[in-house]
Amino acid sequence: MSTQGNTAVHAVGPRGRMRGRDPEEEHRASTPLELLFDLTFVVAVSQAATQLHHALTEGHLGAGLVGYTSVFFAIWWAWMNFTWFASAYDTDDVPYRLLTLVQMAGVLVLAAGIPQAFGDGDFSVVVVGYVLMRMAMITQWLRAAAAHPQGRPGALRYAAGITVVQVGWIARLWTSGTWAPVTFLLLVVAELAVPAWAEYRGYRTGWHPDHIAERYGLFTLIVLGEVILASLTAVESAVSARGLSTSVLLIALGGLLLVFALWWMYFSGAQAALTSLRTALTWGYGHFAVFAALAALGAGLEAAIDSAEDHAHLSPQAAGLAVALPVVLFLVLLAALHRVAGIGAVSSGPLVTVGALVVLALGFSTPVWGLGGAVLGMGLAAAATLTVNLRVLHRHTVATG
């Protein structure tokens, strides 16, 4: 991607010129503001996972998945857009910080509306929070267009595209019946199309590949932290009510193994080489399901503990699948993304497929192994999948090195 004329920008006064950051800048790391921004998204991810957990335990699987997917798209897309913009145009001046504050306020409003969206299907508060974040993003792109002539056409296309789609989200609040899901899908497609349209031909936004890869890794850690917290909360509740049962202990051990194995898989190998727009967009878009699967794993582990303690309208097999399916989705998608980026220990499709099938089979096998035994087996299967892939990667490295 062409990046001529871009230089690292570090504001020294109340307002800097948004001329763009150098995508080849050395030692580019996440800023304290970006880390604070991520923490507000922790709240939204936690709310979405909590509501999914409630839907699972109450036996409302279909409605729960629809609500979860819908609100998680809003969370992920707003985070992703801020992250890529910041990689290219972070001036860290006063207007930039204040507009980021507006986006942080927007995600908190969105988080506050998640229970209402799950319970009543009312997305009005979620839309208000989402549009608030996106309006701040429009303002950032207009600043970039005014200060960076080389990137002005793309910045203006971003601002125009985002504006049109936000009008659509607001208008959708008055739809009902079959038009509600249809318009939602159309607007999702429109949101996803804006970057491809804005980057089409001409100057491409000068995002920093290493910075983007680091930002995605940090958000993965945040979501894994949510899984650990959700599992711990469920275990504490079960122990307080009835003491530590064998089933709860096995689920806790299996959950910990899963978190550790999935973390190791994600961070195995070199950092993602996002050297082209196609690779970068595939990496960025593919993480929607990666993040959503990890957060859903936390909800599944909570539901499994509730089911083991007879506190859920959920059969043991359904509870086992609530844990297995997010793990399977994570394994398959991460293998695909690692293969696209040319990194990682889980880019071997056949090996990962076998591991995913074993995990899925264990989800169905709860009548045989019990819920605790099945979840522990999933943890061991994920660990075995990682181990085999690491050995294959090592042999390949030795053979080609």
Residue 98: which H helix or E strand, with range?
helix 94-120
Q: What is the dihedral of CA 95, 96, 101, 106, to 10 degrees?
A: 110
Euclidean distance between CA atoms 177 and 303, whole angstroms: 31
For the beta carbon of residue 275, count every other beta carbon within 10 angstroms. 12
pLDDT of residue 15: 60
Q: What is the pLDDT along the chain (401 residues), one digit of tens a residue?
A: 333 334 444 444 566 666 767 667 777 788 999 999 999 999 999 999 999 999 999 888 888 899 999 999 999 999 999 999 999 898 888 999 999 999 999 999 999 999 999 888 889 999 999 999 999 999 999 999 998 888 889 999 999 999 999 999 999 999 888 888 899 999 999 999 999 888 876 667 888 888 888 899 999 999 999 999 989 988 998 888 888 889 999 999 999 999 999 999 998 866 666 767 778 788 889 999 999 999 999 999 999 999 888 877 888 899 999 999 999 999 999 988 888 877 766 766 788 889 999 999 999 999 899 999 999 999 999 999 999 888 877 676 666 65
Euclidean distance between CA atoms 76 and 79, whole angstroms: 5
pLDDT of residue 17: 67
Per-residue DSSP letter, 176 = -
3-state secondary structure 358-401: HHHHHHHCHHHHHHHHHHHHHHHHHHHHHHHHHHHHHHHHHHHC
Share in percent of the chain as helix, strand, coil (round to 5):
80, 0, 20
In degrees and rounded to multiples of 5, residue 91 shows phi and psi of: -90, -20
pLDDT of residue 276: 72
Euclidean distance between CA atoms 87 and 399, whole angstroms: 37
Predicted TM-score (pTM) of the model is 0.89
- Short-list 211, 348, 153, 192, CA closest to 282: 192
pLDDT of residue 281: 80
Q: What is the mean pLDDT of the chain?
A: 87
Euclidean distance between CA atoms 104 and 44, whole angstroms: 11
Q: What is the DSSP string of 247-314?
A: HHHHHHHHHHHHHHHHHHHHT-SSPP---SHHHHHHHHHHHHHHHHHHHHHHHHHHHHHHHHTT-SS-
Q: What is the DSSP string of 212-232?
A: HHHHHHHHHHHHHHHHHHHHH
Q: Where are the domains of the chain?
A: 32-198, 209-400
In degrees and rounded to multiples of 5, residue 307 shows phi and psi of: -65, -40
Tokens 């970068």 belong to 280
Report CA 394 to chain centroid distance, whole Å: 29
pLDDT of residue 12: 43
pLDDT of residue 3: 39
